[in-house]
Amino acid sequence: MRLRLNSVYARVLALVMGAMLLGGGLVVFASYRQALHEANELFDAQLAQTGQTLLAIVAHGDDDVAGDLGETAHKYQQRLMFQVWHQHHGDWRLLLRSSNAPAEALPLRKTEGFSSAEWNGRRWRFFAHTDPEHEMRVVVAQQYQFREELARNVAWQNLLPFAIGLPLLAFLLHFAIRGGLQPLRRLAGDLAHRAPDRLEPLEMGDPPSELQPVLAALNRLLGQLQGALENERRFTADAAHELRTPLAALQAQLQVVGLAPTETERRSALEKSLRGVSRMTHLVEQLLTLARIEGDTDALARSETDLAGALQMVCGELGSAAAARNISLELDAPPAVPLAVQPDLFAVLARNLVDNAVRYTAAGGRVEVDLESADREVVLRVADNGPGVPPERQALLGQRFGRYQEAGPEGVGLGLSIVGRVAELHGGRVEFGPGLDGAGLGVRVVLPRLPGRAAATGS
Amino acid sequence: MRILIVEDDLLLGDALQAGLKHLGFAPDWVRDGIAAGAALAAEAYAAVVLDLGLPRLSGLDLLQKLRADKNPVPVLILTARDAKRDKLSGFETGADDYVVKPVDLEELAARLRALIRRGSGRATPRIVCGDVEFDPGARRVWLKGETVELSPHELAIAEALMSNAGRVLSRAQLEAALYGWAEGAESNTVEVNVHHLRRKLGADFIKTLRGIGYMVEK
């Protein structure tokens, strides 16, 4: 495994080693303090015992000066220093001293018991003890330095196995962390070896609890992707399907032009071919519109638009088609209904709705377009008295190519998909209901006012 | 030859009917599955051109019903669906051919003729009865190897009689072979054309069974 600083492996290793070092340091410090304390106790006891022993011996022995006490027999035995004093007629006389002790009085000679002081540039521990009966006094002293050395040695002895163990620990941790990260690596491997179109959920027999949310989120995402992809595939298949029939009609009509024996038949077939071309054109335009708005999601350039004016334009464009089939097309809208929409898309929505109504209404029928402005929303309603759609089939209306009409007047089945998408882009919704005179179809498009603008235009 | 076109698209159905008529068929055209079922129950068709995506009753359902009723009529599926499983289920349901739109009209006519020929148990496209030879694809007739010029109506009657050689066809059946439902036949059209055929192909070529109909011997 290549070691990168920004990896879980490196982080865990660094954190564990850091924690071990910190913990180890604390342990060594504590053990030094403890050792020092114990050493003090021990050496104090030793000092006291030595003092008392000396006093006992000297009180019953000859008056003499002890010579050099010889080489030290143990490294901790170091250089105890002592003086034994005798009071004679009020004067203290040095009776006995160790070779490293001075002939003059040591400091704190008169303090009974333990005490510490500087002497000769070092810190010493003193113990003074008096035998009043024999008028004797002993002072025993020892450098602190030795106690500290002892404590340091003890601490160091404790540190040593730890210092040796740390690299070993790191070595073992390497394997432990790798083992711990195994599920993560398996997941990464699974993902890396996936073909781009394989979107089924990721399977991990028994995922560790830390990975479960990741896995769940990934699988949710994969599911959404799969849905989107299937939608696209279905759309492509549907589009191919919807393009084939008009193409077949076009080709067949043009072949009829070649086959027909009379001029009248040839003319009629040519005219029908032209109708086939305009149907194809309409279909391709609708497909392009849909592709354009399907791609457009977030950045919707809204601007304050007068919906009533836009509707008037659309109804004007479609008025001649309606008039040609003797359909009465009526628009009922307040003078001005401003709303923040993408103006081109709103026109596409309105054109598709009105065009649908005019297409599917029989000659001599009626199409009504209403626009209502309320506080929170604007409602556009397009209703006709055409054949209508049974309520149980209305759910299919918004689907692409979900054309409901058994012998339809050349609709391509995309209009309401486009309407639905545009409404969705504006945060609105599309509802289907009955049309006019208890027949036909009524489509309501509800577009909400953006928060903040309601106050400005609501009153 | 009388065939049924089942196609809901106005422009395509119209073109199929017109084109196949010019290519020697007598096509009827219906626009949904229910109407197709009714037509097939009422008339004897030589073949059916069937779209799959139909209103009211889908093409596959219609085909299934047809085969369940032991109707052997050759069925050619003409559809926009090109997926393999659609083709497989089409053949499994009982289709005899499967053509994806768009289609060349002449190819469609050739396929239909092959289906009809196979349906009547012949392997070669030409029909031979005595000295007369008929090529349904080329719409040509030979008498003892010599080409004979026939009008479209004469050809249609010759084709109907020769492809049903040995069987008696009524005047109504021959009229149906001449026209679909659309055009009304004049009362004596069949007699006039039979008369012309006898003059061009020999007096014994077509037998008359008084009160029953006409027949060509095998």
- Residue B100 and residue A244: Cβ atoms within 8 Å? yes
In this predicted model, what pLDDT tens digit does every residue of A320-337 receive, in sequence order? Answer: 888 888 999 989 988 888
Residues of B in contact with A247 (CB under 8 A): 101-102
Distance CA B44, CA B175 (A): 13
Q: Give the three-class secondary structure for A229.
A: helix
Predicted confidence at residue A410, as pLDDT, reads 53
pLDDT bucket at A406, cuts 50 / 70 / 90: very low
Task: Determine the distance in angstroms separating the CA of A387 from the nearest CA of chain B, rounded to an integer.
Answer: 15
- Residue B15 and residue A275: Cβ atoms within 8 Å? no
The beta-carbon neighbor of A272 closest among B11, B78, B80 is B11
The tokens describing B163, both together, are 């492809």
Long-range CB contacts (within 8 A, 24+) of B166-170: B166/B215, B166/B216, B166/B217, B166/B218, B167/B215, B168/B209, B168/B212, B168/B213, B168/B214, B168/B215, B169/B213, B169/B214, B169/B215, B170/B212, B170/B213
A299-458 has which CATH code?
A: 3.30.565.10
Domain residue spans in chain B? Answer: 2-119, 127-215
CATH 3.30.565.10-classified regions of chain A: 299-458
Asked, as a colleague might, if the bond just before A196 is cis with ω within 30 of 0, I would say no
The answer to whether residues A253 and B15 touch, using CB atoms and an 8 Å cutoff, is yes
**CATH class of the domain defined by B127-215:** mainly alpha
Average pLDDT over residues A413-440: 83
Name the DSSP class of A77. Answer: G
Question: Of A18-27, A149-158, A366-375, B184-193, which range is least confident?
Answer: B184-193
Residues of B in contact with A269 (CB under 8 A): 15, 18
Nearest chain B residue (CA) to A278: B11
Nearest chain A residue (CA) to B8: A407
Predicted confidence at residue B153, as pLDDT, reads 86
- Residue B18 and residue A269: Cβ atoms within 8 Å? yes
Nearest chain B residue (CA) to A403: B55
What would the DSSP string read from start to end of A320-341?
HHHHHTT-EEEEE--S--EEEE
Helix H or strand E encompassing B100: strand B97-100
Helix/strand/coil percent split, chain B, to 5 = 40, 20, 40
Predicted confidence at residue A457, as pLDDT, reads 42
Q: Is the pLDDT of residue A238 over 80?
A: no
B105 vs A: CB within 8 A: yes
The tokens describing A247, both together, are 């193409």
Distance CA B33, CA B14 (A): 17
Predicted confidence at residue A455, as pLDDT, reads 40
Predicted confidence at residue A403, as pLDDT, reads 56
Residues of B in contact with A252 (CB under 8 A): 12, 15-16, 19, 102-103, 105
Q: Is the pLDDT of residue B86 over 50?
A: yes
Residues 6+ apart with CB under 8 A from A266: A257, A260
Provide the Cα torsion B194, B195, B201, B205; round to 10°. Answer: 60
Predicted confidence at residue A195, as pLDDT, reads 78
Pairing state between β B47-50 and B2-6: parallel
Average pLDDT over residues A274-302: 76
A77 vs B: CB within 8 A: no
Helix/strand/coil percent split, chain A, to 5 = 55, 20, 30
- Residue B101 and residue A410: Cβ atoms within 8 Å? no
Provide the Cα torsion A388, A390, A392, A395; round to 10°. Answer: 0
Q: Which of A445, A417, A426, A398 has its CA nearest to residue A289?
A: A417
Distance CA A457, CA A446 (A): 17
Nearest chain A residue (CA) to B51: A245
Nearest chain B residue (CA) to A253: B15
Q: Which of A251, A254, A270 to mutate to test the interface with B (most CBs of B within 10 A)?
A: A251
The beta-carbon neighbor of B105 closest among A252, A261, A407 is A252
Residues of B in contact with A406 (CB under 8 A): 8, 31-32, 55-56
Name the DSSP class of B124. Answer: S
In degrees and rounded to multiples of 5, residue B174 shows phi and psi of: -70, -35
The CA–CA distances, whole Å, from B111 to B60, B62, B97 equal 20, 21, 8
Measured in whole angstroms, the distance separating CA B164 from the mean position of its chain's CA atoms is: 12
Measured in whole angstroms, the distance separating CA A351 from the mean position of its chain's CA atoms is: 44
Integer-rounded Cα radius of gyration of chain B: 18
Neighbours of A239 (CB within 10 A): 19
Helix H or strand E encompassing A179: helix A144-180
A411 vs B: CB within 8 A: no
Number of residues in chain B:
218
The beta-carbon neighbor of B80 closest among A241, A269, A275 is A241
The tokens describing A103, both together, are 């002939």
Q: Which of B30, B57, B99, B101 to mutate to test the interface with A (most CBs of A within 10 A)?
A: B101
The beta-carbon neighbor of B11 closest among A242, A265, A276 is A276
Distance CA A86, CA A128 (A): 13
Q: What is the mean pLDDT of chain A?
A: 80
Angle at B180 (CA atoms; ends B178, B185), nearest 5 degrees = 55
The beta-carbon neighbor of B101 closest among A244, A255, A410 is A244
In this predicted model, what pLDDT tens digit does every residue of A143-165 receive, in sequence order? Answer: 888 888 888 888 888 788 888 88
Task: Determine the distance in angstroms separating the CA of A269 from the nearest CA of chain B, rounded to an integer.
Answer: 8
Q: What are residue A87's DSSP bridge partners?
A: A92
Predicted confidence at residue A367, as pLDDT, reads 92
Q: Is the pLDDT of residue A313 over 90?
A: no
The answer to whether residues B157 and B147 touch, using CB atoms and an 8 Å cutoff, is no
Place of tokens 């060594």: A28
Task: Determine the distance in angstroms separating the CA of A367 from the nearest CA of chain B, rounded to an integer.
Answer: 25
More confident residue, A375 or A402: A375
Q: Is the pLDDT of residue A257 over 60?
A: yes
In this predicted model, what pLDDT tens digit does every residue of A62-86 receive, in sequence order? Answer: 555 454 444 555 555 556 788 888 8
Written as one letter, the residue type at A77 is Q
* A 123-152 → B contacts, CB under 8 A: none
The CA–CA distances, whole Å, from A21 to A25, A33, A162 equal 6, 18, 9
Residues of B in contact with A276 (CB under 8 A): 11
Residues 6+ apart with CB under 8 A from B191: B171
A292 vs B: CB within 8 A: no
More confident residue, A50 or B125: A50
The answer to whether residues A125 and A17 touch, using CB atoms and an 8 Å cutoff, is no
* B 65-84 → A contacts, CB under 8 A: 78, 80-83
Sign of the C-alpha dihedral computed for residues B71, B72, B74 and B79 taken in this order: positive
In this predicted model, what pLDDT tens digit does every residue of A177-233 receive, in sequence order? Answer: 888 888 888 888 888 888 777 777 877 777 788 888 888 888 888 888 887 787 777
Question: Of A89-103, A119-133, A390-404, which range is least confident?
Answer: A390-404
Question: Does domain A11-61+78-165 fall into CATH 3.30.450?
Answer: yes
A270 vs B: CB within 8 A: no
Residues of B in contact with A275 (CB under 8 A): 11
Q: Is the pLDDT of residue A394 over 90?
A: no
- Residue A245 and residue B12: Cβ atoms within 8 Å? yes
Residues of A in contact with B11 (CB under 8 A): 246, 249-250, 253, 272, 275-276, 279
B131 vs A: CB within 8 A: no
In this predicted model, what pLDDT tens digit does every residue of A23-68 receive, in sequence order? Answer: 888 888 888 898 889 888 888 888 888 888 888 887 776 555 454 4
In this predicted model, what pLDDT tens digit does every residue of B8-52 receive, in sequence order? Answer: 888 899 999 999 999 989 999 999 899 999 999 988 899 999 998
Neighbours of A307 (CB within 10 A): 23
Per cent of chain A over pLDDT 90 is 9
Task: Determine the distance in angstroms separating the CA of B148 from the nearest CA of chain A, rounded to an integer.
Answer: 21
- Residue B18 and residue A265: Cβ atoms within 8 Å? yes
In this predicted model, what pLDDT tens digit does every residue of B89-112 receive, in sequence order? Answer: 999 999 999 999 999 999 999 999
Task: Determine the distance in angstroms separating the CA of B179 from the nearest CA of chain A, rounded to an integer.
Answer: 16
B172 vs A: CB within 8 A: no
The fold for domain B2-119 equals Rossmann fold (3.40.50)
Q: Which of A234, A259, A389, A412 to mutate to test the interface with B (most CBs of B within 10 A)?
A: A259
